[in-house]
Every structure is written in C-alpha cells, then in structure tokens.
Amino acid sequence: MRVGIVGLPNVGKSTVFNSLTRAGAEAQNYPFTTIDPNLGVAAVPDGRLDALARVMESKRVVPTTVDFVDIAGLVRGASRGEGLGNKFLGNIRECEAISHVVRCFEDENVVHVDGKVDPIGDIETINTELLLADLSTVERRLERVGRAAKSGDAKLKAEAAQLEGLVGHLSEGNPARTYPWSEVLAEALGTLITAKPTLYVANVDEESVADGNRYSAEVEKLAAREGAEAVRLSAKLEAEVVELPEDEAREYLAMVGVESTGFEEFVRAAYRLLGLLTFFTAGEKESRAWTVRKGSTARQAAGRIHSDMERGFIAAEVGNWEDLVAAGSWAKARETAKVRLEGRDYLIEDGDTMIVRFNV
C-alpha cells in the first residue's frame, strides 16, 4: 500500500517520514522544506513472522512493506494553486490512503504557520482545501455531462443527477467517503481525494506519548466522529528510537510508558483502515509475510506469491501461525491435525500460513 503523509508546514511530517522509513528526508524549521515528494519503503515489524522463521530455521526472512510518500506542506489556497498546491494535490491523488500529521505539541522554537497550536483548525484547513479540490473536479464533470444530457440521453441524465447530489454533499463540508458511492460515480470520477481512507497522526511531545494531551484528545474525538482512525506518537521520540538497538529501544519505550513504537501502532491502524490482513509462507529456505485485502480467497492469495500459482491453483495447506510455531515444523503440525487442506474459495484469515499446491 502507498500512504501519503500530509499536513501543514512544520507539523513534523518529514520527521515522521524519516522515523518510519529511515530515508533521511530533509527536515528543517521552515515551510516547504519538502518540495518534491520523498519516497520511502518501511518494513512492517511482525513478531509472528519472526517466530515462524525461528522454528523453521529460515535462511531468509522477508517482511511485508508499506510505501510512504512525504508530500509538500499545504497552505490555505492550495486548491487554487497557492504555495505548492497543485503539486501537493497531484501527489496525494496517487496514494491509496492519507496519513494526516497534526501538530499537538507546544514548542516556541518551532514556528507554526498560523502562530499558534490549533490541531482542529489545522485539520479544517487541510480538509477544506481537499474538499474544494474535489468540488472543482466534480463541478467540471457535471458541467460537461449536464450539457450532453440535454440531448435526452437517460444514462447521462442519471449521472448528472448523482453528480448534483455529490456537489451538494461536498458543498456542505462532507468528505466524499461519507457519500453513497455508485458505479456510475466511480466510472465518471475515479477516486476523489476526500474518498481516500484517512488516518490522523497526533504528533505529541515525548511526555504525552503514553497518555496524550488536550490537543491529541481533540484529534481523537474528531477522528471518531468521522469514522477515521487516529494514532498518537512523538515524531521526536520515534526519530531517537530508530537509532537504537532493539533491546535498548524497548527499554526506552518502557521508560515513557508505551509497549510499542508509534510506527507499529500506525501500521495496525492503517491495516484496519484499508481492510488488510497478513498471511505467511514459511520454510527452511524463506519465511515471508504477504498482505491481502480481507475477503481474499486462497487462490487470490496464491496470486500475491506468483501469478502461476493463481493460474494453476489446486489447493493450499493452511495452518494458523501459532499452531505451526507450537508444533515446530510443518510435518509435526500435520501429525497433530493442525494443518488442513483448503480449496480455491477458502477465505484467508489474518495469521494463516500456507503451502500452495499448483500445476501449470
């Protein structure tokens, strides 16, 4: 999945990006440090995969990954091309989901574009610009379709009616993701920016990571109202933790009262938001994590491994990762009936481990 990291200038976007990907994007205390989008790939930590690799004595361990895009800071008027608006909006359209970083810390040494810490106001600024950009897109389409519908074409009239409804919805300040989408709109518009799943990231100071503060509480309440996800992290803390050995990092996190890094919380929230799950393949040669959408069949999951497996799918041996780790090997898991044979229409569950039988 590709996640676009967005927000106002100087809210910590590039610091969050660096801590997630270790890509070394420039992060400075002035607007528009990020002009061209920075791209980074982050390996997703998964203790289940590590456990499988240990018992299978795998020579190679391959985690699943998330692509992150650090997009230029947005300002008021971006929908009209102000600042780096056109570039910003173009970059975000290419992402599957939006990670909206919101400043929830006070620091007189880090300037705020509006001179004060106001997370809800910041969110409204970003969301307004995204709504205006979508509204412009829909209105242009409605203008073209409306003219063509005057010919009496029933299909075009139906599309125009749906577009009018969407214009009204957006004009009232509602994101496209809360509108009853249809195949007609999907064909006409593709995916609008405000239709993309959104994850709010409350960037707090180190002292507020465990319990939050009044600013992060506001962000979490807003996310709940929208049906979006929200996570709380300290970009400064994350940047420090990624430089430490794993055992020291865990000790550091325990000192501030949290069990996992913000990145781990981020990934869990992103998976929930996008309706994703993880399955595994495990053996002596390699143990690997794979990402599929909920509702994927065994045959579709096999296609994630290799197209030949999907095309020539026969069946899959499936076992839960915990059962395989407890058994210690595929052979012992089979002996204790912890592995079953599933057909092409079996729905993959999170944590399934597979061996695919196929013939091409």
Strand 61-62 with 287-293, pairing: parallel
CB count within 10 Å of CB 102 equals 27
Whether 265 contacts 188, CB under 8 Å: no
Whether 308 contacts 301, CB under 8 Å: no
Give the C-alpha separation, 79 to 72, whole Å.
Answer: 14
User: What is the torsion angle, in degrees rounded to the nearest 10, for the CA atoms of residue 197, residue 203, residue 204 and residue 210?
Assistant: 50
**Residue found under tokens 């970083």:** 101
**Residue found under tokens 């909006």:** 89
Whether 72 contacts 91, CB under 8 Å: yes
**Is 14 annotated to bind ligand?**
yes
In order of 62, 157, 220, 320, 329, the CA distances from 57 in angstroms are: 13, 63, 42, 18, 10
Extract the tokens encoding 312. Answer: 């020539």
Extract the tokens encoding 28. Answer: 């400075």
**Is 13 annotated to bind ligand?**
yes
Give the C-alpha separation, 115 to 59, whole Å.
Answer: 54
Extract the tokens encoding 57. Answer: 């004595």
Spatial CA neighbour of 41 closest among 61, 17, 60, 58: 17
Extract the tokens encoding 29. Answer: 């205390």
Whether 76 contacts 129, CB under 8 Å: yes
User: Which positions ≥6 away from 291 have C-beta within 8 Å?
Assistant: 1, 64, 271, 276, 277, 278, 304
For 270, the 3-state DSSP assignment is: helix
**Is 10 annotated to bind ligand?**
yes
User: Which positions ≥6 away from 335 have C-beta within 8 Å?
Assistant: 327
Extract the tokens encoding 241. Answer: 């933790």
Annotated binding residues, written as ranges, equal 10-15
Binding residues for ATP: 10-15
